[in-house]
Amino acid sequence: MISAGDFRNGVTFELDGQVFQIIEFQHVKPGKGAAFVRTKIKNVLTGSTVERSFSPTDKFARAQINKRDMLYLYRDGDLCYFMDEQTYEQIPVNESSAGDALKFVKENTTCKVLFYKEQVIGIEPPIFVELEVTETEPGFKGDTATGATKPAVVETGAQIKVPLFINIGDIVRIDTRTGEYMERL
């Protein structure tokens, strides 16, 4: 059990038969009246986000989320296939469960698959990935001092902003949490 007074970002708990994860929280102690906890919570099963306030003494059951390292194999229509590297068991995951997590992930990349009661609820890609730039406008010599950026498409089809000196065929490192260019390799 966890009380609302112990909420922290990332904590998962059960409420009304659903599983929620804390995105933001704030302990509020008004000058008059009782203290409360203001939260923004995400339903991990449906993906919807809601703002809700709780009394600090409210108690909830912790939701046990299991993470397993699995190899991303391929996409077939709306299904993405992952393989457990210990048992070689393959599981299909709906593209809606994966969300935007796979837009920077190539085939044969290890990801963390999140399970709640043996049901896949999400995918965590590696924090940094290295991808080849497949489309971008050519840069101009001497244009790098301004810190300007241009759009580029990487080999997975995702679009990012890169510095002007990046060309087609360059390998770039991308932070999958923000989708930002980090460096050219």
**Collapsing DSSP states into helix, strand and coil, what is residue 100?**
helix
Q: Please indicate, yes or no, whether residues 141 and 174 belong to a single structural domain of this protein.
A: yes
Q: Region 2-6: what's the mean pLDDT?
A: 88
Q: Please indicate, yes or no, whether residues 120 and 132 belong to a single structural domain of this protein.
A: no
Among 107, 124, 141, identify where a domain stops. 124
Rounded Cα distance between 181 and 160, Å, is 7
Of residues 153, 58, 39, 158, the one with CA closest to residue 102: 158
- Quote the percentage of the chain above a pLDDT of 70: 96
Among 31, 62, 93, identify where a domain stops. 62
Please write the tens of the pLDDT for every residue from 45-88: 777 899 999 999 999 999 888 889 999 999 888 888 999 988 99
Q: Which domain holds residue 116?
A: 66-124
- Mean pLDDT of all residues belonging to the chain: 87
Q: Region 1-20: what's the mean pLDDT?
A: 88
Q: Please indicate, yes or no, whether residues 39 and 15 belong to a single structural domain of this protein.
A: yes
CB neighbour list of residue 66: distance below 8 Å, 6 or more residues apart: 114, 115, 116
Among 96, 124, 152, identify where a domain stops. 124
How sure is the predictor about 129, in pLDDT bands with cuts at 50, 70 and 90?
Answer: very high
Q: Give me the CATH number covering residue 157.
A: 2.40.50.140
